[in-house]
Structure 1
Amino acid sequence: MKVGLQASLSDANLDVAQVSSQRQLAISMSAIAASAGRTAPLNLCLILDHSGSMNGRPMETVKQAALKIVDSLSPGDRLSVVVFDHKAKVLVPNQVIDNPAGLKNEISRLKTSGGTCIDEGMRLGIEELAKAKKDTISQAFLLTDGENEHGDNDRCLKLAHLAAEYNLTLNTLGFGDHWNQDILEQIADAGGGALTYIQTPEDALLEFTRLFSRVQSVGLTNAYLLLRMMPGVRLAELKPVAQVVPETVELQPIQEAGQVSVRLGDLMVDSPRVVLANLYASQLPVGRHPLVQVQVRYDDPAQNLESVLSDPVIVEANVVTTFQPAPDPQVQQHVLALGKYRQTQIAEQKLQQGDRAGAATMLQSAAKTALQMGDQTAATVLQENATRLQEGEELSESDRKKTRIVSKTTLQ
């Protein structure tokens, strides 16, 4: 399996008269399969909240979704199940799927009780995944409906970073309206996974299935984007790199022996990750000039290969005497997606500070950005919430969670 790698500047022309030029570089990366179908086995851990607040329909629908996932696993795949209330336990130890009926019986018998301790569930889940992480695609689905009342949120984030170091991906699913979107987003971002909102019990099966389809499309793991800037080219100092597809995530670049590396995690087949890098180029003479070399380092679990390097891509700019802006429309879409997310983040900060008018103004700006992108769903949610604030209403927990989800993703 190889990497599909493409890179485009927001405008490939530079003005010879400019002392410094700013450009956004959009880098698209996906796994290219040599043959159809997933070749590396899946190593999946379900980390499920079974606290008392999950009683009734929520627990039943989550069990139904988990049972469907068991049915969807392929021969050779591995499953473990960890459950937590105010403490955690391993319900199904990590094992190859050779007795689905026995696993399903264990899941079906799950009852609700107690409070919520997310970090203990994460700790046991990471331990179970680590038992079979070699030459597999290791994924956790962490589901909770509440605040981490018996746990430590800082420990959650440390465990998420530890999981990424182990090449384990953490996906988070918030059920209902009383979970902490800040913590679950930070866990998913640090763990290289997706944040999912299950608004009602009836949505559980659909959202689990959607997330399972995503992990089934993973072909390569532990991917790092490598950027080698040419002389006179540098990254912006503030928030220089962000992922914008499949969801928006602020990324942390690391200086590494003459280049910058950024961890991406998994690469999917036919579903690219797109990263935006904010570059500054010093004045250059007329003609074509290389600005940056782009490469990806990755693991291929199906071939038992680690730290494989893709072929490099050299990004060039054309320096001209008569400059006419020629923005790349696809890169502009990515720039708008990042703008929508950052505007919404500012709105949430203002709301926390008690600045309702400022929050409403930023939500309106984010709604306009979403409209420019053609993201009607986000535009509607963001504008409705801006209007509520302007009319003196409070945003419900559901409103806040919808805002977070539409700011991170594009739902057209």
Structure 2
Amino acid sequence: MNTTTNPCQPPNRERHLPIHLNLRLSRLIPNNRANFLERVLILDAGQPARQPCYFQTGFHIFLTILLPSPDNSIRPLRHSRGMKTIALALGLATGFTTHLFAGETLRLQLEPDRNYLLAGSQQEVVVKIDLAAAAQKKKPKRTPLNLAVALDRSGSMTGAKIEKARQAAMGLVDHYSDHAEVLVPAQEVEDKEALKQRIARIRAGGSTALYSGVQLAAAQLEKHLSARRINRVILLSDGLANVGPSSPSDLRQLGRSLSERGVAVTTIGVGDDYNEELMAGLAEASDANYYYVKDTERLPEIFAKELGELLTVAARSVRIEIICPDGVRPIGLIGRPEKFEGQKAAIQLNQFALAQDRFVFLHCLVQEPQPEIARVGVRYTDELNGGGEEMLSGTARIRFTKDQKLANSSARAGVVAQKELLLTALAKDEALAEADAGRYQQAAQKLARQAQVLDQQCQYAPAPLQSQLRQEADNLRLRSSELQQNQYDSGTRKSLQSESWNVRNSKQ
């Protein structure tokens, strides 16, 4: 563009661009305290569209304001208890469709997988909903922790397994402050050495009552259960559940039930003999962590990692609500169990540690040419700022064009690459189902095809993702080769399932 003839181009730095301001108050949802997407104050700073200006519509700045009081009076944002400025989003109208909504503790970023859609046709779009916690440099105030360790001491845990499990549990005790709580049974930690001696006396023997073991651990937590505490069970087992309820659906239901009471269950599977569907399902149902530990030497490391996450919680009780407007049909949330009810879906996440980043991919069909794809609201307990309730909200938008070439070339390579990594996790799940049925060649072909897709994406992906795509493609080819040779054992299955689980649950 020849900017010397552009009437909007300032002749020197001391002059300002003429800016057109449009201020309006928009109600997104009828004022209902059960909803948290309430009102949006929109400042449209830019040029009137009739001017042939290179800056055209400039910036769109969205300031979401909560109206928490019943009479709809707006409290000062900095003084409303637990509620502060919710969102600030910047998006250039020249096709830049990333929308960032930043609070003090959590940051919400909405990115469609392309910048433009072709006007006049229905098209599918994927929106990356990225939620990240702040990386705070100073040490945060520690949220009280209510922790129970359910340690499988059945006969199969003899030798190095039980020894490393004891070491890991004693390591937890060493990391606690005097105000933390360890439950054997539930008690305040006063004599650490006495507690460690009790752990050291744990011996292997008997059967694996997985279900009742978790129930007993949760019952211990009940003695100190509080919404102001992080309530967590850590379950460690190396074997099959052979006493009591033992189906994946039973364990998932237990996880959901505990989650509703504010308790999450992290599961650690040791070796190659445990049932990974039980352990992974229990953790997923309560939005906790799941670890596959082939080498018992890693147990102290895993326990330390889990404790480190629990002691650096930035936000918890995180609820994401997604609403697609009329004209946009939600297809689903890729790789997640939550379903849309009409135009709405909700996701409940347990907590975010400092600097933790988790994302969800919304798949939808845009049926009408409108810029708004989805409204996203986030409500959470802010542990970095006094434990009050905070909210974020934002809108994912896209632009339309009649230029076929522009629409075809507007893909956002980073979002597409991350979407393909998630689809790779789903391909692994499908391959596992084929292999479980003895169809090893079909499983191998599925992984090989996905490796080719990742190879293709490497050409376009930004540098930080290229290495990850290549590594994953190589891993798929290796797994495919093993399956072609009918090399499919318990360890291979657990590795594939663990890899998929971590990606689907944003736990990498």
TM-score band by shorter chain is: 0.7 to 0.9
- From 225, 233, 237, give the equivalent of 1:140: 233
Partners of 2:252 and 2:285 within 8 A in 1:
yes
d(CA) in 2 for partners of 1:313, 1:355: 45
1:197 is displaced (CA, Å) by 1.0
- The answer to whether the aligner puts 1:67 opposite 2:173 as a matched pair is no
Aligned length: 385
Evaluate the alpha carbon distance shift between residue 223 and residue 253 of structure 1 in structure 2; reply closer, same or farther with a 3 A threshold. farther
Q: Deviations over 1:303-327 (max 9, x none)?
A: 7757x35131121111112124322
- The answer to whether the aligner puts 1:283 opposite 2:368 as a matched pair is yes
Matches within 5 A, 1:339-378: 339-368=423-452, 372=458, 374-375=467-468, 378=472
- The answer to whether the aligner puts 1:76 opposite 2:179 as a matched pair is yes
Q: Secondary structure at the match of 2:392?
A: coil
Q: Secondary structure at the match of 1:395?
A: coil
Q: Which residue number in structure 2 is paired with residue 150 of structure 1?
A: 243
- The answer to whether the aligner puts 1:11 opposite 2:11 as a matched pair is no
Q: Which residue number in structure 1 is paired with residue 213 of structure 2?
A: 121
d(CA) in 1 for partners of 2:408, 2:165: 56
- The answer to whether the aligner puts 1:335 opposite 2:419 as a matched pair is yes
- From 150, 164, 172, give the equivalent of 1:47: 150
* Amino acid corresponding to residue 69 of structure 1 in structure 2: L
1:99 is displaced (CA, Å) by 2.2
Q: Which residue number in structure 2 is paired with residue 402 of structure 1?
A: 495
Q: Which residue number in structure 2 is paired with residue 388 of structure 1?
A: 482
- The answer to whether the aligner puts 1:2 opposite 2:101 as a matched pair is no
- From 300, 309, 315, give the equivalent of 2:396: 315
Q: Which residue number in structure 2 is paired with residue 100 of structure 1?
A: 192
In structure 2, list runs of 5 or more residues that go unmatched: 1-103, 459-464
Q: Which residue number in structure 1 is paired with residue 124 of structure 2?
A: 22
Q: Which residue number in structure 2 is paired with residue 84 of structure 1?
A: none
* Amino acid corresponding to residue 402 of structure 2 in structure 1: T
Evaluate the alpha carbon distance shift between residue 146 and residue 298 of structure 1 in structure 2; reply closer, same or farther with a 3 A threshold. same
Q: TM-score when scaled to structure 2? A: 0.71
d(CA) in 1 for partners of 2:144, 2:271: 32
1:74 is displaced (CA, Å) by 2.8
- From 337, 347, 351, give the equivalent of 1:251: 337
Where is the strand percentage greater, Structure 1 or Structure 2? 1
Partners of 2:323 and 2:345 within 8 A in 1:
yes
d(CA) in 2 for partners of 1:114, 1:232: 59
1:166 is displaced (CA, Å) by 1.4
The 10-residue stretch of structure 1 (258-267 or 162-171) with the greater mean CA deviation from structure 2: 258-267
1:400 is displaced (CA, Å) by 1.1
1:201 is displaced (CA, Å) by 1.6
Partners of 1:33 and 1:219 within 8 A in 2:
no
Q: Which residue number in structure 1 is paired with residue 347 of structure 2?
A: 262
Q: Secondary structure at the match of 1:402?
A: helix
* Amino acid corresponding to residue 250 of structure 1 in structure 2: R
Partners of 1:15 and 1:319 within 8 A in 2:
yes
d(CA) in 1 for partners of 2:209, 2:368: 55
- The answer to whether the aligner puts 1:110 opposite 2:202 as a matched pair is yes
Q: Deviations over 1:174-217 (max 9, x none)?
A: 10010111111111111101210110221212222222223333
Q: Deviations over 1:7-29 (max 9, x none)?
A: 111113121121x2211111111
Q: Which residue number in structure 2 is paired with residue 167 of structure 1?
A: 262
Q: Deviations over 1:240-260 (max 9, x none)?
A: 114xxxxxx62313649x742
Partners of 2:313 and 2:383 within 8 A in 1:
no
The 10-residue stretch of structure 1 (379-388 or 70-79) with the greater mean CA deviation from structure 2: 379-388
1:40 is displaced (CA, Å) by 1.1
In structure 1, list runs of 5 or more residues that go unmatched: 81-91, 243-248
User: RCO (CA 8 Å, sep 6+): is it higher in 1 or 2?
Assistant: 1
1:61 is displaced (CA, Å) by 0.6
Evaluate the alpha carbon distance shift between residue 129 and residue 31 of structure 1 in structure 2; reply closer, same or farther with a 3 A threshold. farther
1:378 is displaced (CA, Å) by 4.2
1:49 is displaced (CA, Å) by 0.5
Q: Which residue number in structure 2 is paired with residue 271 of structure 1?
A: 356
* Amino acid corresponding to residue 49 of structure 1 in structure 2: D
Q: TM-score when scaled to structure 1? A: 0.86
d(CA) in 2 for partners of 1:32, 1:310: 15
d(CA) in 2 for partners of 1:233, 1:176: 47
* Amino acid corresponding to residue 102 of structure 1 in structure 2: A
* Amino acid corresponding to residue 210 of structure 2 in structure 1: I
Q: Secondary structure at the match of 1:188?
A: helix
Evaluate the alpha carbon distance shift between residue 5 and residue 132 of structure 1 in structure 2; reply closer, same or farther with a 3 A threshold. farther
d(CA) in 2 for partners of 1:234, 1:328: 21
Where is the helix percentage greater, Structure 1 or Structure 2? 1
d(CA) in 1 for partners of 2:238, 2:373: 47
Q: Secondary structure at the match of 2:379?
A: strand
Evaluate the alpha carbon distance shift between residue 328 and residue 167 of structure 1 in structure 2; reply closer, same or farther with a 3 A threshold. farther
* Amino acid corresponding to residue 382 of structure 1 in structure 2: L
d(CA) in 1 for partners of 2:274, 2:256: 21
d(CA) in 1 for partners of 2:354, 2:126: 25
d(CA) in 2 for partners of 1:130, 1:25: 40
Q: Which has the larger radius of gyration?
A: 2
d(CA) in 1 for partners of 2:207, 2:284: 25
- The answer to whether the aligner puts 1:200 opposite 2:282 as a matched pair is no
Partners of 2:276 and 2:494 within 8 A in 1:
yes
1:218 is displaced (CA, Å) by 2.3
Partners of 1:33 and 1:269 within 8 A in 2:
yes
Q: Which residue number in structure 2 is paired with residue 85 of structure 1?
A: none
- From 356, 361, 375, give the equivalent of 1:293: 375
Q: Deviations over 1:91-120 (max 9, x none)?
A: x02233232222211111100001111000
Partners of 1:253 and 1:262 within 8 A in 2:
no
